[in-house]
Amino acid sequence: MTSTPHPVIRPRRLRSTPAMRRLAGETRLHAADLVLPLFVREGISAPMPIASMPGVVQHSLDSVRGAIADAAAAGIGGVMLFGVPEVRDARGSGATDPDGILNVATRLVREEAGDALLVQTDLCLDEFTDHGHCGVLDADGRVDNDATLERYRAMALEQARAGSQLLGLSGMMDGQTAAVRAVLDDAGFEDVALLAYSAKYASAFYGPFREAVDSQLQGDRRTYQLDPGNRREGLREALLDIEEGADIVMVKPAGSYLDVLADVAAASDVPVWAYQVSGEYAMVEAAAAHGWLDRQRTVIETVRGIRRAGADAVLTYWATELAGWLKDGVE
C-alpha cells in the first residue's frame, strides 16, 4: 500500500495568522488613497438625506463644514465637490456664476480644509442644465461637442478662481482635456491639475447619483459616454487624455470595469483613479440592511478589489468611514 505523500508546497503558511497575512499582503488600503464625493445644495439650511444612498446627504453650506472636518481628521486624501443649484437653464449658467453654489462651496471648503485635503471640483454641466445633459444642445437636441468645450473653458476658470486644486473633467466631450489645459495655462493657472474622467461608461449604476444632484435628464448619454461592452475604447480614451495633458485619468464606474482599469493602469504613466459610484454604494447598503452581507467586510473587499486592479486612488462614499476602520486596524 502506497501512502499519500504530504504536500511540500503549502501556501496556507502565509495565511496562518493576522500578522503573517499583513506581511504577505499584496494590496494595502490607506486613508490617503481615498477621496470623498460631497454634494452641496443651494437654498437649504440643513442636510437633506438622499433616499437611494442611505447615509449620504445633500449638504448645506453650513453642514459641509462638519463633513470637511471629519474627512480631514480621518486622514483621507481629498474631497470631490458637486453643486446642486436651485435654478437651471439650457446653458447651465450657474456653473460659471462666481456666486453659483459650486463656486461658493469651493471657496468655503478650501478655507475649511486648509492643507489637510485636496479640494477637487466636478467640471460638468449636467447638474446645472435644465435638460440634464453634460453639454450644450444644438437645434436638433444633440449635445454640441465644440460649443460645450467653450462652456467647459469658462467653468474651469471660475473653479480655479474659487480655489479648486484639481478639476474633474467628467463630461466626456472630445478634446476637453486639451481645451481646459490651454485656457488655464493662458490665465496663469498652470498649477491647477486635471483629472480626466477618461473611461466613463454609459452605466445603469449612476441611478442614485441622479437623485443626489436632482438631475433633469431625459433620455440617456450614450452618444458621449462609452458603450459598456467596449474594453479597448476605454484604454484609447485614457491615452488620448494623457496626450492632451491630463495629470490623472479615471475609470468610472469601478466595480464592473476592473478589466478596463487594469488595462489603463498597465499603460498609463500618470496616476489612475477609479470612482466607486452611487449604484455600487446603494447595492451594498441595501443588501447589508437586509442582513444579506457583512457591511464592513464588503466595503473593504470592494475597495481593495479596485485598488488591486490598479487604481492609485478611489473615490468612494465610504471614504471617511473606511478611513476610520483602517485607523482602528480592521483588515
Pairwise CA distance, residues 232 & 264, whole Å: 10
Q: Where are the alpha helices (DSSP H) in 92-202?
A: 101-113, 145-162, 176-186
Between vectors from CA 44 to CA 42 and to CA 45, what angle results, nearest 5°?
130
One-letter identity of residue 96: T
Q: Smallest Cα–Cα separation from 95: which of 57, 60, 121?
A: 121
Collect all residues with Cβ–Cβ distance below 8 Å to 133 and sequence separation of at least 6: 125, 126, 143, 217, 221
Q: Give the residue numbers annotated as catalytic, written as ranges.
A: 200, 252
As a whole number of Å, the CA-based R_g of the chain is 21
Pairwise CA distance, residues 78 & 64, whole Å: 14
35 contacts 80 by C-beta, under 8 angstroms: yes
273 contacts 312 by C-beta, under 8 angstroms: yes
54 contacts 95 by C-beta, under 8 angstroms: no
Strand partners, 39: 58, 82
Pairwise CA distance, residues 260 & 264, whole Å: 6
Which pairing describes strands 313-315 and 34-41: parallel, antiparallel, or unpaired?
parallel
Q: Where are the alpha helices (DSSP H) in 176-294?
A: 176-186, 207-212, 232-243, 258-267, 278-289
36 contacts 76 by C-beta, under 8 angstroms: yes
Q: Which grid coordinates are listed for 1? A: 500500500
